[in-house]
A and B are shown apart, each in its own frame.
Chain A
Amino acid sequence: MKPAIEIRDLHKHFDLSHSGVASIKTALLWFRKRRIERLEVLRGVTFTLNQGETVALVGRNGAGKSTLLSLIARVYKPSSGTIEVNGRVAPLLELGAGFHPDLTGLENIQFNGVILGLTRKELAKRVDRIVAFAELENHIDTPVRTYSSGMMARLGFAIAAHVDADIMIVDEVLAVGDFAFEEKCYAKIEEFRANGGSILFVSHNFESIYRVADRCIWMRNGVVAMEGDPHQVVSAYREAGE
């Protein structure tokens, strides 16, 4: 069986400019003086996410975790190296990722569902379930900008959980809802795993790592510092004082 995600020697660098606002005017004015700084975020990451496996990513801010997830979600193009993804990915990146603030909750469900690869027919069948799961029946017709962070997280998770993805990538969003919703999320994640889905998630909450992860990867300075049993990796990570 092919792995869900296979990453080989992945590099990603960004070019940061210090010339300020992007406009033709500044480009002309700063043509000689512009300073471009190359920021290497990932320097050769290799790992595999097997089908049905749940892997946690830990590491300090700036270690490259979110960049890695964005690369898997195909938001960025790798500088070099390969990413092979087998199956439909449901990315759940940060709070309210991909929501349009001026559209209502319902419109955002439609918009996001289609972005995640559902057809409108498939989506129409699921809308009620998504709304019910997010517990937003009373707010679904108001613009998302009026939502609290908890409401947005609930909606985001509800959509991602109902698109029948094969792989879920989650960037530290589970800690935003209240306790009852968190439990509901864990129940959904268990169901997703039981059905053979794979999960890659970033978390700073060790409890949740122990609870769901089969394996843990510690990222440091853009490389995999250690991978293996969650308890061992987390304790090594904590001992490193990070």
Chain B
Amino acid sequence: MPSLTLDFRHGLFIGIFAPENQVVNRRYSDRMRKELRELWRFRELLFTLVERELRIRYKNSSLGFAWSLLNPLITALVMTTVFGLFMQQGGIKSYGLYVLAGYLPYLFFQFAIMDSAQSIYNALPIVKKVYFPREILPLAAVLSNFIHFLLALGALVVICVGVWAAYGDLPLKRTIVFVPILMIIQLALVTGLSLMVSALNTFYEDVKYIVSVLLYLLFFLSPVLYFSEQVRDAPTANSGLLFNIYHLNPMAALCTGYKKLLLDNAAVPDRKGGTLVPLEMNWSQVGVAALFSLAVLWIGYVMFNRMKWRFVERP
């Protein structure tokens, strides 16, 4: 049989279609299992890197952890002022808490991906000299940002308790116990995307600029500053369809999920000065996001493994 070999290796999708040139007679799943075992063998390195990132983040400034919370807190403050005073979100009680409940997960998403994008490129001098599983670099960026996210969520709970002490009603819901499910889904999504972006950015240094623009746009397409009830209430003929399409974005489903599981339903004003019917937690949206995230994780991991040996031979 004549065979046609396409060599895309130096085209746009460098490495994705690169032929595996070692040990071809091994099954694909076996190879993946071997890569995962190798990763486990180097777990100490992963922990060391995560520890290092966190130390740099918290110890290099005298304010430490508080300093790193300043960005989300100030953002929430500004948003509360702007949207509360000038726009229709005004009447919502503790609007700032709802912003934070969506913004903290979004920040984790954004920072983890942007940090990973640079992780391999910045470590190239080391990558060119010593062996270790390369996926450790983006994984360390993801994990350190995840730990930071956990701490920030803890701070949000503390703020809620503060609200309780001051006003007498606790804005938190018991469904907070389901939040780890969302975290696991988001971790899968973020890891998959980080693997893709870090690998691509190593070959094409402009990938990180493209990604930062996409992340900026996705922020507005996720319900951080507004509510899923308002998406449902969009003044179009097919608002139901739009609502479903909107929540195909896994970050939209997750942000809504965090808000619903952490905080009581907000009394969201509609266009005519009334109040929108609150939507309950929608697990099927989260389920779709979970499937999507797992697919992204799998594709990201496969892609990364295909490309990782070529990082050092970057043309």
Residues of A within 8 A of B (CB): 14-17, 19, 21-25, 27-28, 31, 34, 36, 70, 73-80, 91, 93-94, 97-100, 103, 107, 110-112, 114-116, 118-120
CA distance A23 to B204 in the complex (A): 4
CB distance from B270 to the nearest CB of A (A): 44
- Least distance between A26 CB and chain B CB atoms (Å): 8
- Does B59 lie at the interface of the complex (its beta carbon under 8 Å from any beta carbon of A)? no
Interface contact A22-B312, CB-CB below 8 Å: no
Flag whether B126 is at the interface (Cβ < 8 A): yes
Contact A16 B206, beta carbon cutoff 8 Å: no
B10 touches A34 (CB 8 A): yes
Q: Is the CB–CB distance between B22 and A77 below 8 Å?
A: yes
* Measured CA separation A25–B203 after assembly (Å): 12
Q: How far is the CB of A116 from chain B (nearest CB, A)?
A: 8
Instruction: List 22 A–B pairs whose Cβ atoms lie within 8 Å, in order of A's numbering.
Output: A15-B10, A15-B315, A16-B315, A17-B10, A21-B205, A24-B206, A27-B12, A34-B10, A73-B131, A75-B128, A75-B130, A77-B22, A91-B129, A93-B129, A94-B129, A98-B130, A100-B126, A111-B48, A114-B44, A115-B126, A115-B130, A120-B48
Tell me the complex Cα distance, A149–B123, Å: 20
Map CB proximity to A onto B1-44 as digits: 1 under 8 Å, 0 otherwise: 00000000111101000000110000000000000000000001
Check B52 against A107 for contact (C-beta < 8 Å). yes
What residue of chain A has the Cβ atom nearest to residue B122's Cβ?
A100
User: Cβ of B48: which chain A residues have Cβ within 8 Å of it?
Assistant: 110-111, 114, 120
Give Cα distance in the complex from A79 to B22, angstroms. Answer: 8
Nearest residue, chain B, Cβ from A107: B52
B interface, size bucket: 20 to 34
B204 touching A22, Cβ below 8 Å: yes
Contact B204 A15 (CB under 8 A): no
Contacts of A28 in B (CB 8 A): 12
C-alpha spacing A144/B217, complex, angstroms: 40
Question: Considering the chains assembled together, what is the distance between the CA atoms of A16 and B130 in angstroms?
Answer: 22
Tell me the bound Cα distance from A98 to B130 in angstroms.
Answer: 6
Does chain A have a CB within 8 A of B164? no
- 8 Å CB contact of A76 from B9, B49, B313: B313
Check: B157 CB closer than 8 A to any chain A CB.
no
Q: How far is the CA of A223 from the CA of B51 in the complex (A)?
A: 44
Asked whether, in the complex, the Cβ of B52 is within 8 Å of the Cβ of A91, the reply is: no
Contact of B207 with A24 in the complex, beta carbons under 8 Å = yes
Distance in angstroms from A58 CB to nearest chain B CB is: 22
B178 at the interface (CB under 8 A from A): no
Chain B residues whose C-beta falls within 8 Å of the C-beta of A17 in the assembled complex: 10, 315
> Could you tell me the distance between the alpha carbons of A28 and B204 in the complex, rounded to whole angstroms?
11
> Which B residues are CB-close (under 8 A) to A98?
125-126, 129-130
From B9, B129, B314, give the contact of A75 (CB < 8 A).
Answer: B129
When C-beta atoms are compared, the residue in chain B nearest to A20 turns out to be B315
Distance (whole angstroms) from the CB of B136 to the closest CB of chain A: 9
